[in-house]
């Protein structure tokens, strides 16, 4: 950490500017990734809740099935124990209710661990960006009276 600060301090204003730009870009990218993970987690949580909800309904239960956002048709619940899970790249797998719930939980925990790892990287990057910004400001201030 200390050696890095030293290295940064040795840089010219131009290099610092480039570094700052670069670091900011990376921070933004990581922030976007974090947001994506968060939305994905929310989606999975919604799916998990829906499964939980579905598993509580008895067979033959009457319900309205949404065909579009505003059009519902009546239907009866046939078999709540078999669910189709979208595993990605166009593949769907038939699972039982418990397996389906398990799938959601697994994905959520995977995403959570990824999120934490990424958060770590993002915080480090952010500190580098901030550090560079501070040093750059200091350099510029140093240069200003000389001009």
* Contacts to another protein by CB under 8 A: 14-15, 18-19, 21-22, 25-26, 33, 36-37, 40, 43-44, 84, 87-95, 103, 107, 111, 114, 118
DSSP state letters, 60-120: T-EEEEESSSS-EEEEE---TTEEEEEEETTEEEEEEHHHHHHHHHHHHHHHHHHHHHHHH
C-alpha distances out from residue 36 to 66, 107, 108, 113, Å: 27, 14, 13, 14
Closest separation between CB of residue 130 and another protein, Å? 17
User: Residue 142 phi/psi, 5° resolution?
Assistant: -60, -40
Taking the least distance from each CB to another protein, the nearer of 25 and 65 is 25
The encoded tokens of residue 108 equal 């959520």
**Residue placing its CB nearer to another protein in the complex, 22 or 59:** 22
Pick the closer one to another protein by CB: 38 or 61.
Answer: 38
Q: Compute the least distance from the CB of residue 6 to another protein, in Å.
A: 18
CB atoms within 10 A of CB 83: 22
CB of 89 to another protein, least distance (A): 5
Smallest separation (angstroms) from another protein to the CB of 30 = 8
Q: Which is nearer to another protein, 87 or 134 (CB)?
A: 87
């Amino acid at each position: 950490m200390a050696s890095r600060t030293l290295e940064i301090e040795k840089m010219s204003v131009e290099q610092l500017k480039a570094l700052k730009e670069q670091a900011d870009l990376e921070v933004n990218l990581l922030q976007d990734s974090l947001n994506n993970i968060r939305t994905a987690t929310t989606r999975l949580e919604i799916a998990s809740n829906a499964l939980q909800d579905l598993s509580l309904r008895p067979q033959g239960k009457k319900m309205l099935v949404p065909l579009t956002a505003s059009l519902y048709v009546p239907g009866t619940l046939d078999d709540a124990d078999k669910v189709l899970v979208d595993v990605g790249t166009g593949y769907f797998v038939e699972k039982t209710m418990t397996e389906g719930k398990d799938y959601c939980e697994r994905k959520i925990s995977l995403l959570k661990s990824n999120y934490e790892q990424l958060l770590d990287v993002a915080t480090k990057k952010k500190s580098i960006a901030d550090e560079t910004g501070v040093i750059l400001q200091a350099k510029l201030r140093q240069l200003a009276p000389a001009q």
